[in-house]
Amino acid sequence: MLAHALLKAVREGRLHPREVAEAYLERARRHAHLGAFLALNERVLEEAERVDREAPLAGLPVAVKDNLVTRDLPTTAGSRLLEGFFAPYEATAVRRLKEAGALVLGKTNLDEFAMGSSTEHSAFFPARNPFDPSRTPGGSSGGSAAAVSADLAPLALGSDTGGSIRQPAAYCGVYGLKPTYGRVSRYGLIAYASSLDQVGPLARSVRDLALLMDVLAGEDPLDATSLSAPSRFQKALEEPLPPLRLGVVKEALEGNTEGVSRALEGFLEVMGRLGARVKEVSWPGLSLALNAYYILAPAEASSNLARYDGTLFGVRKGGVEETRALFGLEAKRRILVGTFVLSSGYYEAFYGRAQAFRARLKREALALFSDLDALVLPTTPTPAFPLGAMKDPLAMYRQDLYTVAANLTGLPALSVPAGFEGGLPVGVQLMGPPLSDEALLRVALAFEEATDGAHLRTPLGEAF
């Protein structure tokens, strides 16, 4: 059962929240080999007894990425540096979920401090793809994507700095939304690259995403970058599909696997049948976005990670140097790159140029949206790769080729399950102008309905 159907069953008294929580907890334990969870909420059954059935997310279990701080469950961000850490406060996204009657089922696995595209940089263990456990579920929100895909949880939260919601969503055959920068509060999200980070939902249907977004989105006095735009996600889905103008990004058509190209063509064909006007457009900056991202993200990361010195919180082991030696290889690499591009001799050559490029990339995108409703491109160039296959860090970075542009520009982007290749899911990505989050979901719903959910598979069956 999808989350909205589950909610209805709870509301109508056909299912008790305790039964729901019990079933999901049991599935999460049974499929522990997927490495999706770093911690499970052992109190979830008690909490389920107290659920108000009228609440917007009454009794729905949600898997929460372990870089969102929680008071009652440990928060590690996938790092040895935060092993056993309990935050003294709750992330706004988590607080909003709880206030809406949702239950936190557990904290999900991720690449250390959300740096990576495979969950292999988790300090604890990698997460696995439910479609093929020898492969990655993607990253860094790999645990959340694996959990939703295997229906170990009907809904999940992730964070997306350069693709970490959308890429794992694509690899695991589920939906993942990176909202417009500022639509969801970042308060309590452990910072990776603050100007790029955004919290967002993963789910198995468009309606389920909307359900979660109506609760998550909104202004937060605790996050000065949060926006006051009203959220009307579920309402927008009831409206008729407007005449659509879609732009296929030329720069994203080469170098993809055959299955990825087929999924993209299939998506456009369906949308064309529904009356959309489709044209090929050029977004020249896209080909350089990855280079800029891998300068800017490490620059911000090197500054954000400076706080882990054993003084204020987290693990302390001997002196500062011994404590900081607990960072994994990838985090260390980012700190080195970040401090290098910010060093006085190289600042203008790297950081300064990348920032200027970032402005250009956004200008180009906004110009395209003057006569387009959305851009369409693959989420990733290939389906999920085998664990251990990406020995070269640059090869791993290339997985983010199509996703980082949305973070650099702040634009909303949604990964839609759109096909399979060799039994592995493939995603298509929709990107829209600022605050078009609802509109993107409306487009995805049209595709989902026209294809009768054909792109949704449940590799391990459903909880209900």
Q: Active site includes 140?
A: yes
Find the shortest distance in angstroms from Cβ 164 to ligand GLN.
3
Do residues 63 and 143 make contact, with C-beta atoms less than 8 angstroms apart?
Answer: yes
Find the shortest distance in angstroms from Cβ 115 to ligand GLN.
5
**Given the complex with ligand GLN, which of 202 and 372 has the nearer CB atom?**
202
> 118 φ, ψ to 5°?
-150, -5
Out of 164, 226, 261, 302, the active site residue is 164
Out of 117, 118, 140, 141, the active site residue is 140
- 76, 92, 140, 409: residue in contact with ligand GLN (rule CB under 6 A): 140
**Given the complex with ligand GLN, which of 160 and 214 has the nearer CB atom?**
160
- 92, 108, 117, 379: residue in contact with ligand GLN (rule CB under 6 A): 117
Q: Active site includes 302?
A: no
Q: Active site includes 164?
A: yes
**Given the complex with ligand GLN, which of 48 and 396 has the nearer CB atom?**
396
**Given the complex with ligand GLN, which of 122 and 161 has the nearer CB atom?**
161
Which of these, 107, 110, 109, lies nearest to 94 by C-alpha position? 107
- The pairing of strands 61-65 and 155-160 is parallel
Strand positions, DSSP E, 30-133: 37-40, 61-65, 103-108
Reading the block at residue 50, the tokens are 């107290």
Per rule CB under 6 A, is residue 400 in the interface with ligand GLN?
A: yes
Do residues 435 and 412 make contact, with C-beta atoms less than 8 angstroms apart?
Answer: yes
Per rule CB under 6 A, is residue 401 in the interface with ligand GLN?
A: no
| 122 prior amide bond cis, ω within 30 | no
**Given the complex with ligand GLN, which of 18 and 398 has the nearer CB atom?**
398
Query: DSSP states of 225-272 as a string?
Result: T---PPP-HHHHHHSPPPPPEEEEEGGGSSS--HHHHHHHHHHHHHHH
- The pairing of strands 277-281 and 245-249 is parallel
| Cβ neighbours of 258 (radius 10 Å) | 9
Do residues 181 and 410 make contact, with C-beta atoms less than 8 angstroms apart?
Answer: yes
Per rule CB under 6 A, is residue 327 in the interface with ligand GLN?
A: no
- 47, 90, 151, 160: residue in contact with ligand GLN (rule CB under 6 A): 160
- 116, 338, 425, 433: residue in contact with ligand GLN (rule CB under 6 A): 116
> 124 φ, ψ to 5°?
-100, -60
Per rule CB under 6 A, is residue 415 in the interface with ligand GLN?
A: no
Per rule CB under 6 A, is residue 192 in the interface with ligand GLN?
A: yes
**Given the complex with ligand GLN, which of 234 and 339 has the nearer CB atom?**
339
Per rule CB under 6 A, is residue 114 in the interface with ligand GLN?
A: yes
The residues that touch ligand GLN, with contacts defined as CB under 6 A, are 114-117, 140, 160-164, 192, 297, 400
* Residues acting as catalytic residues: 65, 140, 164
